[in-house]
Chain A
Amino acid sequence: MNKKQLALLLLFVSPLVPQTQAEIKHVEMRVEGMT
């Protein structure tokens, strides 16, 4: 497989790889003084 074929393969396969997920899933704050 030459470099061009390898680059094309990566180009087409990369969208199938799951994107990096944000590791903080949820943030909840209890606040005071909110009107």
Chain B
Amino acid sequence: MKQHLGRQSGVQDVEVSLRDGKVDVTPKQDGRIDPAQLLKATYDSGVSVAELDMTVRGKIVKDASGNLALQAEPNQSFAIAPNELSQSLETLVGSATAVTVRGQLYKKPAGKKKADTSVPLKLLILEIQKKE
């Protein structure tokens, strides 16, 4: 799996902890990493992903349907799942303030063996680390 993930574009390093069932992926400094692609690559390597968390920096915007989204560079956008923390980010819509957040992009539905990657991924904000 480590080699499989390491071949994905934008991936600098992959650390696998067999004991904890944890996989840490470090992106390249100037690369673009696609979390959906990571999910698929992990699944293709024969293991299922129970949860995917990420730390991402970007600007808060509203998408075409008026929902909050985190606009990250280069040209990536993540829909934000509404919760208390996301409400506190609403004031930053359209501002130049960049935020760094830790969030959960995917969690395997309880009782399902196979990951359903057809569902659009939404970022559930777990922690707001920085506003700048």
Contact = CB atoms under 8 A, between A and B. Distances in A.
23 contacts: A20-B30, A20-B73, A22-B27, A22-B29, A23-B72, A25-B27, A25-B57, A26-B26, A26-B27, A27-B25, A27-B38, A27-B55, A28-B24, A30-B20, A30-B21, A30-B50, A31-B42, A31-B47, A31-B50, A32-B47, A32-B48, A32-B108, A34-B47
B35 A27 contact: yes
Nearest to A22: B27
B52 interface: yes
Interface string B19-47: 01111111111111101001000100011
A24 B72 contact: yes
A23 B73 contact: yes
Nearest to B28: A22
Interface residues of B, number: 40
A29 interface: yes
Contacts of B47: 31-34
B115 to A, nearest CB: 10
Contacts of B20: 30
A29 B72 CA distance: 20
A23 B56 contact: yes
Nearest to B39: A29
Contacts of B18: 34-35
A24 B73 CA distance: 8
A31 B21 contact: yes
